[in-house]
Amino acid sequence: MKILTPFKRIFRFYFDGFSNLSSWGRSIWIIILIKLFILFAIIRVFFMPDILKKDYKTDNERSRHVLENLTTSVSVTSELNSKL
């Protein structure tokens, strides 16, 4: 039970802080939350498609593709560094 006391104190600290915000502070936090929602939810859906899921049907095919791309780029980089 002593472990929960610090978590309760931290929660109470933030809860009291946010509940006692002025109207200016609340409006700023609302703007911040709306901007975060737009960045992570809406933009991700439209501009970051899941290419691996679209091009490959199974997890095994996806992992094989990623492994091949990671290992070939490392080997090419190490060959270039050894020639320098």
Q: What is the pLDDT of residues 38-78, one digit of tens each?
A: 988 888 878 777 778 888 889 999 889 888 888 875 555 56
Could you give phi then psi for residue 6, rounded to 5 degrees?
A: -65, -35
Q: What is the pLDDT of residue 39?
A: 87
Q: What is the pTM of this model?
A: 0.49
* Least confident residue range of 7-11, 28-32, 51-55, 74-78: 74-78
Distance CA 41, CA 62 (A): 24
